[in-house]
Structure 1
């Protein structure tokens, strides 16, 4: 049990680095990247500092052609890939994990990779690489940015091998430990970076990062903001336009074509306010047989030519609440139970037999 919680502590330590809004440690960053350049037989680069990943769009040269010798970015990518292959081979020597009590396995001294992957790597991959870095990349748009490294957002794999060293006493080769330390230093020191020949482009860390559990979320402003003013807005892990957060009006909502953006805006405004301000008329209401204790409400949607089924989620959210959500259904439905059944591909009679829907 103690080993389990020590692993969690290491994971949270790395999560704090990933979400840090402190200014980049430029001397440490430049010295570390210079060392990586040296490991692939490249001279020290000229450093170009950027105030956000988006700023790279206008200044970043394309990746070099694949030729001999390979461009420096490809050599650095291979350097890290080879390191991870060696580390993976080393930690994979633990005995197979076959027990109904993973905590006992941890305490016994041989917690298998199958335990640590979801506990450390998987958790940080969801909260940092996918939620934070993923939404930042999506906000930049479809621009091809080529080979890049994520600095502080590269913590998922680093934390995993750190746990193996600090909690499980796994021994890596001295050369691998030295290189692992270089990548770890970058995760503690800077944002995203690109190696391009004799130049290296490095971004500052953000000024603001707001999370709800393991998702980017800020109901009062940008979820991520960088020193140059570039921002990313997010509602419970979904990237949204700024108006969804600052001014979720009925007119903006009804003209929005993206169903997920529309859902987030309505949740921010609140379903009661949306129904009132949009002047939706209630067609019918019924108890939800798939979610006992909650009701289904069916409304006319004059702006879309369909009807809106308002329901309560059958499962509990991360914060312990149940999300209220709306589904567009054909205008032919007048019974909320039939409408709910249609969303599952069932008849009303079949849906009424459900014990609990999700």
Structure 2
């Protein structure tokens, strides 16, 4: 005789999606805060993490930016078989184990309980957490801010933590605790609260033997919101640095892409045509606008034609600027057939072989088609 399948118990909703968005915005504010660091709070919490790792409290060295920290960080301690782990490895083990346990709690809670069915066409609060808000926080805080900062550093700085930008993973568990009703073990709650306090208190930090280097939070943090229900944003400032720190270190970004300062402050045709990085060149051209760039660079329009796969848009074929490291080419200017994440339709240029004299032939070549076949396209994406 088979055992009847037990359905998960239903629980009343302890909050709604407005509560989720309220907590999400709270953590986004901490992740992008430009207030001075709460130094006493940060030092006290880091001392507790050292203690949990079996180490005595370190001395603290505060710096004006992550870039300044690189010069102060002691060399990483070499790992040896059977030897003691350095303090940064011990703290890494602590936080990895914590997150594994918290994930187990979230999974067990999900299997044991389920939310009441959402309205037709809607999403449950749990789906909003796991498939919407949590990934959006990760993309905004980790991918679009922390990793952009990390890419700007001249050298690797070894194991470190992001302080305010660790908010993306802290928020994930905080949302499950405060909205989803997940009950974590008291000891794990206490340790999660330490990381949450650090995310509210300081910038990046580097724990090392007997010393911990901590960076101040930025003075400036400029982002743009994307048209998403989950509040996703990315670094962007068309009038100056997207991030600026108390010691003068800056990071520039154009719609989420890290760029040299000249792209924002002084984009000229000479700089653009001399730039080898395609993404940097794209951002600079978008900043000045294709019409201004074409005029400033003195590009000659050879031919134009209606884009058959993109009603209302034209294909423009120009003589491209010379690049000593590449074969002669022409520039095909087109409009993207699909909408970008920010809701716009991007104009873009493609280098095509110099032998093309007609835009349809050049456009077809990019798809592996002849111009005649390309002219029969109904819709291009």
Distance 1:102 1:147 in 2: 47
In structure 2, the residue matched to 1:161 is 173
Deviations along 1:86-140, one digit per CA (max 9) or x if unpaired, are: 0001101214999997975526xxx25xx42332221111111111111111111
Do the aligned residues in 2 keep the contact of 1:329 with 1:339 (CA within 8 Å)? yes
1:256 Cα deviation from its structure 2 partner: 1.0
In structure 1, the residue matched to 2:302 is 283
In structure 1, the residue matched to 2:189 is 177
Do the aligned residues in 1 keep the contact of 2:118 with 2:124 (CA within 8 Å)? no
Which residue of 92, 97, 105 corresponds with 2:107? Answer: 92
| Greater shift in the superposed pair: 298-307 or 329-338 | 298-307
Deviations along 1:252-304, one digit per CA (max 9) or x if unpaired, are: 11111111111111111111111111111111111111211111111111424
Do the aligned residues in 2 keep the contact of 1:120 with 1:159 (CA within 8 Å)? no
> Which residues of structure 2 form unaligned runs of 5+?
1-12, 226-232
Do the aligned residues in 1 keep the contact of 2:302 with 2:357 (CA within 8 Å)? yes
1:212 Cα deviation from its structure 2 partner: 1.7
SS in 1 for 2:16: helix
Distance 1:355 1:85 in 2: 50
Deviations along 1:148-169, one digit per CA (max 9) or x if unpaired, are: 0000111111111111111111
1:5 Cα deviation from its structure 2 partner: 2.8
Do the aligned residues in 2 keep the contact of 1:221 with 1:246 (CA within 8 Å)? yes
Are 2:62 and 1:49 aligned? Answer: yes
**Equivalence map 1:19-168=2 (5 Å):** 19-67=32-80, 68-93=83-108, 94-95=110-111, 104=122, 106=124, 111=126, 115-141=128-154, 143-168=155-180
SS in 1 for 2:19: helix
Give the TM-score normalised by structure 1: 0.93
In structure 2, the residue matched to 1:256 is 275
The alpha-carbon distance between structure 1 residues 11 and 353, as it changes in their structure 2 partners (threshold 3 A), is: farther
Distance 2:294 2:145 in 1: 32
1:343 Cα deviation from its structure 2 partner: 1.9
Do the aligned residues in 2 keep the contact of 1:131 with 1:237 (CA within 8 Å)? yes
1:171 Cα deviation from its structure 2 partner: 0.5
Deviations along 1:190-222, one digit per CA (max 9) or x if unpaired, are: 000011011011000001111122121111111
Are 2:357 and 1:334 aligned? Answer: yes
Distance 1:16 1:278 in 2: 42
The alpha-carbon distance between structure 1 residues 91 and 302, as it changes in their structure 2 partners (threshold 3 A), is: closer
Do the aligned residues in 2 keep the contact of 1:308 with 1:329 (CA within 8 Å)? yes
| Greater shift in the superposed pair: 296-305 or 121-130 | 296-305
Distance 1:74 1:103 in 2: 46
In structure 1, the residue matched to 2:249 is 230
The alpha-carbon distance between structure 1 residues 101 and 74, as it changes in their structure 2 partners (threshold 3 A), is: farther
SS in 1 for 2:380: coil
Aligned-residue CA RMSD in angstroms? 2.1
> Which residues of structure 1 form unaligned runs of 5+?
none
SS in 2 for 1:339: helix
The alpha-carbon distance between structure 1 residues 74 and 241, as it changes in their structure 2 partners (threshold 3 A), is: same
Larger radius of gyration: 2
Distance 2:43 2:378 in 1: 60
